[in-house]
Amino acid sequence: MASVAQDPASTGPGGPEGPAQSRRALPGWRQIGSRIIALREGSIIVITLVVAIYFSANTSNFLTGGNLETLLPYFAPFAILAAGEVFVMILGEIDLSIAGMYLFAPIIYYKLNTSVGLSLGLSLIGALLICVAVGAMNGVFVSVLGINSFVTTLGTLFTFEGLSLIISKGTPVATPGGQVPVGTFGKVFGAGTYSELIWAIAIVVLLQVALTFTRWGLYTVAIGSNKLGAAEAGVRVNLVMIRNFMLCALTAGLVGIFEAIRAQTVQPNPAGPNEILFFAVAAAVIGGTLLTGGSGTVVGALIGALFLGILKDGLILQGVQANYLLFYTGLAVIVAMTANVFVGRARRGHGGSD
Instruction: Decide if 100 contacts 161 (C-beta within 8 A).
Output: yes
Q: Which is nearer to other proteins, 251 or 295 (CB)?
A: 295
Peptide bond into 27 cis (omega under 30): no
Binding-site member from 107, 235, 242, 266 for other proteins (CB under 8 A): 235
Least separation in angstroms between CB 26 and other proteins: 19
Number of residues that bind other proteins (CB under 8 A): 30
Under a CB-based contact definition with an 8 Å cutoff, are residues 268 and 170 in contact?
Answer: yes
Q: Is 287 near other proteins (CB under 8 A)?
A: no
Q: Which of 282, 77, 252 is nearest to 157 (CA)?
A: 252
Q: Choose among 205, 83, 93, 112: nearest CA to 153.
A: 93
13: contact with other proteins by CB under 8 A: yes
Phi, psi (rounded to 5 degrees) for 27: -75, 140
* Residues in Cβ contact with 298 at an 8 Å cutoff, skipping those fewer than 6 apart: 83, 86, 87, 204, 207, 208, 211
User: Does residue 226 bind other proteins (CB under 8 A)?
Assistant: yes
Least Å distance between CB 19 and other proteins? Answer: 5
How far apart are CB 48 and other proteins at their closest, in Å?
Answer: 25
Complex with other proteins: residue 182 or 231, whichever CB lies closer: 231
> Binding other proteins by CB under 8 A: which of 122, 233, 239, 326?
233
Please report the DSSP string for 28-84 in residue order: HHHHHHHHHHHSTTHHHHHHHHHHHHHHHHH-TTTTSHHHHHHHHHHHHHHHHHHHH
**DSSP calls for 68-108:** HHHHHHHHHHHHHHHHHHHHHHHTT---TTHHHHHHHHHHH
DSSP letters, 271-336, are HHHHHHHHHHHHHHHHTT--TTSS---HHHHHHHHHHHHHHHHHHHHTT--HHHHHHHHHHHHHHH
Q: Applying CB under 8 A, which of residues 81, 89, 191, 230 lies at the interface with other proteins?
A: 230
Least gap, CB of 131 to other proteins (angstroms): 24
CA distance 76 to 82: 10
- Interface residue with other proteins, options 31, 214, 318, 338 (CB under 8 A): 214
Site string for other proteins, 33-72 (x = CB under 8 A): ----------------------------------------
Q: List, in sequence order, every residue forming a beta bridge with 173; answer none if it has no partner.
A: 266
Looking at residue 11, what DSSP letter applies? -
Binding status of residue 19 toward other proteins by CB under 8 A: yes
Q: Which stretch binds other proteins (CB under 8 A): 60-68, 116-124, 208-216, 245-253?
A: 208-216
- Residue from 16, 28, 65, 117 that binds other proteins (CB under 8 A)? 16
Q: Does 346 bind other proteins (CB under 8 A)?
A: no
Stretch that binds other proteins, among 8-16, 51-59, 91-99, 138-146 (CB under 8 A): 8-16
Residue 14 or 181: the one with the smaller Cβ distance to other proteins is 14
- Residue 238 Cβ vs other proteins, minimum distance, rounded to whole Å: 11
Q: Is 18 in the site for other proteins (CB under 8 A)?
A: yes
Candidates 3, 56, 159, 225; binder of other proteins (CB under 8 A) is 225
- Closest contact distance (angstroms) between CB of 235 and other proteins is 6
If one counts every other C-beta atom within 10 angstroms of the C-beta of residue 17, the result is: 12
Note the residues at the interface with other proteins (CB under 8 A). Answer: 13-14, 16, 18-19, 209, 213-216, 218, 221-222, 224-226, 228-236, 294-295, 351, 353-354
